[in-house]
């Protein structure tokens, strides 16, 4: 059996490869051939957060990276992060960061820097 750190390492790797396919922790647990409950318990014990929170944080970080490092439209970032609708991506991003993708890019982005 994998120890907790191996399981978290595998979980992180699968999120990196598949985060655009799902934001559902159960999906990733199935991909790892473990139960959602086991995955969630290991995340809580090891990371002090739920599997879902870990996935959301990863996706938000990826979105932030796209916004700041690449000249991509919100629509393109929405697609790249696995959202069917740009509006859903914007709502998700706002829920997790307190600002819209545009506001975030204006604050931190290299493409819209005021000179």
pTM: 0.89
Q: What is the mean pLDDT of the chain?
A: 92
Which positions of the chain have pLDDT values less than 50? 112-115
Q: Which residues contact 66 (CB under 8 A, 6 or more apart)?
A: 72, 76, 77, 80, 81
pLDDT value of residue 111: 56
Q: What tens digit of pLDDT does each residue of 59-76 get?
A: 999 999 999 999 999 999
Structure token pair of residue 88: 């859903």
**Whole-number Cα distances in Å, 67 to 19, 24, 51, 72, 84:** 17, 23, 24, 7, 18
């Amino acid at each position: 059996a994998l120890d907790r750190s191996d399981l978290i390492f595998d979980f992180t790797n699968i999120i990196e490869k598949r985060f655009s396919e799902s934001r559902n922790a159960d999906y990733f647990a199935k991909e790892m051939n473990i139960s959602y409950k086991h995955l969630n318990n290991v995340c809580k014990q090891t990371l002090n957060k739920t599997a879902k929170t870990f996935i959301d944080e990863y996706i938000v970080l990826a979105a932030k990276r796209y916004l700041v490092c690449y000249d991509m439209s919100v629509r393109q970032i929405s697609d790249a992060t696995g959202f069917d609708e740009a509006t859903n991506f914007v709502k998700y991003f706002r829920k997790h960061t307190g600002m819209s993708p545009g506001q975030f890019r204006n604050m931190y982005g290299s493409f819209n820097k005021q000179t």
